[in-house]
Each structure stands twice: as structure tokens, then as C-alpha cells.
Amino acid sequence: MLIAAFVAIWVPYVTAVGLQERFGADGAAGPAIMAASLLVALAAGWWLARRSAPNPFGLRFDGWTMPILVTGIGVMIVARWLAGHAAVAAGIASYEAAVPVGALVAGLAAALAIGAVPALTEDILTRGFPLFAARGNRPAWPLILVSALIYTLNHIWRFDWGLSEQVRLFCMGIAYAVAAWRFGSLWAAFALHLGWNAGGAVVPLDIADPMAFRLESAAIHLAIAVLILLLPKRQPDR
């Protein structure tokens, strides 16, 4: 049942990503298929909830959901902003031409809006399934590592980017899975995921050393995972 639901979401998701990453971002096919994959994911969550346990993907709204979303997105935008300036200071990137503040704000808003659908779909696939739908009484850390591995393998269109990209993805997967587990909600992972992705619009960069830049991102995400682990574990409202 879980495998069938996973495959039903994964196939349109990777198709949409492939259309955009390998064949260009222009055109409506990729975004349309991505939106369809999210609809399939939400339908799968409803289906699983009726047959197994409530809240299979950790997407229940409770009193903490909005604070988690706002705080997580904000923290990661700031983290991405700091990471960009640190990369420039280290000589592994340089600033693009100056962009007016209004254009930066508009770009950030667009990145948040456009990135929400693929981020949520991927979070359901790579964290909703292992951490919530299939958790049972299993210990947390094996599921967190499995989630990070699935997240890495889910980026099949980036397998030729080199080992540094796989390391970066795995460390990102750990941070986001730790957040979902620590807060008992997939919305925590979604907030960090979306905030980091959208934060790239705040400091537009030309990357001179992609490997070093990716390893910087990996180190930042491991540090974020450690900081999250220092917070008390919260159970979602019933």
C-alpha cells in the first residue's frame, strides 16, 4: 500500500523535475505535472489515513503550525543570506550585478510562491513516508538516515553533478528530517526546505567554486540539525 502510494507520487514528480532541469524551465508541462503530483500526494494521504492511521504524512494543522512555518522560513532565508555573504568572503562566489531592493523582495516572494508546490511534494515523498506513514514504533535515527538517503536518491537528475552534490543533499536531508521528527510535523521540514530554496533570491551569486559552495551548504545544514536537536521534542496537538 505504501509502496503503491509512493510510486504514484514519485513518477510524476521526477518527470516534472526532469522536464525543468534537463529540458529548460520554460513551458507549462513541468509545473502542471508537478501540481498534479502534489494532488496525487494529498489524495494518497487521504487514502492512507482511511486505511491505516490518521495524519500519515505529518501534515495536520495545529496551534504550532503557523509559528513553525513563519519561524522556519524566516530562519532559513537569513541562513541563506549569511551563507551567501560568507561564500563571497571566502572567495568561492561573487555578487551578481546590484539588484534594487524592490526587485529582491519581489524575487523572494516569487520564489516562495513558485517553490511551495515542489518543496511540499518532495517533503511528502522523502520525509512524510519514512518519518510518518511508515514509522510505527521504529526508532527515530534509522528513519532520519533513510529519509536523508531517499532525499538524495530522489535527485536523480543531479547524479552527474559529482560527489559534493550528493553530500550536500544528504546533509540537507538530515537537517529537514530532524526538524520533522523534532517538531512532530512535516511542516517543520517544509518550512526549512522552502526557506532555504527561496533564500537564494536574496543574495544573487555567481559561483566560482561549486564544490566548495556545496560543501558550505552541507556544513550549514549539519549545524542547523544540531541546533534543532538541542530544542525540546514537541508532540503535535491532538
pLDDT of 217 reads 97
pLDDT of 45 reads 87
Spatial neighbors of 118 by CB under 8 A, at least 6 apart, are 13, 16, 17, 34
How far is C-alpha 108 from the chain's CA centre?
16
- In angstroms, the CA 205 to CA 162 distance is 20
Kindly report each contact of residues 92-100 with a partner whose C-beta sits within 8 Å and lies 24 or more positions away, as own/partner.
Answer: 92/207, 92/208, 92/209, 92/212, 92/213, 92/216, 93/205, 93/206, 93/207, 93/208, 93/209, 93/213, 94/205, 94/206, 94/208, 95/203, 95/204, 95/205, 95/206, 96/204, 96/205, 96/206, 99/204
pLDDT of 191 reads 98
pLDDT of 136 reads 57
pLDDT of 26 reads 62
Residue among 216, 178, 186 at smallest CA distance from 83:
216
* Set of cell numbers at residue 116: 511551495
Amino acid at 6: F
Write out residues in the chain with pLDDT < 50, as ranges: 236-238
- In angstroms, the CA 97 to CA 133 distance is 46
Q: Taking the domains of the chain in order of start, what are their residue ranges? A: 59-229
pLDDT of 164 reads 96
* pTM beyond 0.75: yes
Cα–Cα distance list, 99 to 78, 80, 133, 152, 202 (Å): 18, 17, 43, 33, 10
Provide the residue count of the chain.
238
